[in-house]
Amino acid sequence: MNKHKFRTAVLLSVILCFIIVSPVLIQGSSAYIFGQSPICRGSFYAEPGESSVPESSVPWSSVPESSVPESSIPESSVPKSSIPESSVPEKSVPESSATTRTGDGTNTLPIIAMLLFSIIAIILLFAAIKRSNKRRSSND
């Protein structure tokens, strides 16, 4: 097989691949419309020692309310840092993080691949024609 025939074969196979692959790519890029929400999370944390006692095992009635005078618990004894950040209301979350993500199901990658494929095929085609013309003229 000479060089010219080899190049033509390569070119033809590229075009053939493009013809075969492009419908698959196009079909793959079209999908039904869908939408997805941001993640809604519930974080559970444990404080060692505290959560090991089942809540139900300590009846409320066994702790007389009057035994712990309200005034004996100073407000400052609850450090502010013990309140997790996530408990802050929604408005404190920057607006950009609260936007709904939406997908229309279209994937642009196959389209770009298809375009690149076409461009490469056209360039190869022109190159092959030019070379064959040169060869013919040199033969003449």
Q: Would you tell me which residues interact with other proteins (CB under 8 A)? A: 32-57, 83-84, 86-87, 89-91, 93, 98, 100, 102, 104, 106
Write down the least CB distance from residue 55 to other proteins, Å.
Answer: 5
Residue 20 or residue 53: which is nearer to other proteins going by CB? 53
Q: Which residues have C-beta within 8 Å of that of residue 23, sequence separation ≥ 6?
A: none
Main-chain phi, psi angles of 3, to 5 degrees: -60, -40
Least gap, CB of 83 to other proteins (angstroms): 7
What contacts 137, CB < 8 A, 6 or more positions away? Answer: none
Minimum CB distance to other proteins smaller for 20 or for 40: 40
Instruction: List 102's β-bridge partners, or say none.
Output: 35
In the complex, the smallest distance separating the C-beta of residue 109 from other proteins, rounded to whole angstroms, is 18
Q: Which is nearer to other proteins, 2 or 108 (CB)?
A: 108
User: How far is the C-alpha of 2 from the C-alpha of 134, rounded, in Å?
Assistant: 16
